[in-house]
Amino acid sequence: MKIQIHNNVSNLNLNDIKEVYHSVGWTKHTPKIIKQIFESSNVIAIVTIDDRVVGIGRAISDGVFNAAIYDVIVHHDYQKQGIAKRIMEYLLENLKNVSCVHLISTTGNEEFYRKFGLKKTKTGMARYLNPVLSEEYLD
C-alpha cells in the first residue's frame, strides 16, 4: 500500500476529490468549487493510497499570526485508519510557527481535534449564510 500526502491539486483529478466530499454528505462541492477553494488555500494535504484520493485537508494562513484549518475529511470507506490524524499532523507541522490556528469542528468531532492541542475559544464568532448551519453551530 503506497500512502502519499500531496501539497497541491495540480496533478490530481478534481472529481476524485469531489468523491471524498460527497462520501461524507458534502454534496455542494463541484470540481469548479474545489478548484477555487484549493487555489485559495496555502497549506494543502491530499492523501492518496495507491493513487486514489482518500483524504483531504487545507488551511489558509498569513504565515505569522493566524491560520484557519478547513475540510479535514476522509472518504467514508477509509475512516478510522489514522488518515485524518496524518492530515492534521501534516497541516499543523506546516503551521508550527503560526501564533494562532483556528478550526471549526463538525459536530461530534471535537474530541478528535483536542488530541492535537486545540481548545474551545472563549470569544470565537462566525456567520453562516446557510440557516441549517447557523442553527447547528451558532449560539
24: pLDDT confidence band, cut at 50, 70 and 90?
very high
Contact 27, 18 (CB under 8 A): no
Decide: residue 49, CB within 10 A, 0-12 exposed, 13-18 middle, 19+ buried.
middle
Domain count, the chain: 1
Q: What is the CATH number of the domain that holds 11?
A: 3.40.630.30
Residue span of the structural domain in which 58 resides: 3-137
The residues facing 61 across adjacent strands are 67
Cell 500500500: give the residue: 1
Tell me the per-residue pLDDT of 95-134, one tens digit each, with 9 for 90 and over: 999 999 999 999 999 999 999 999 999 999 999 999 999 9
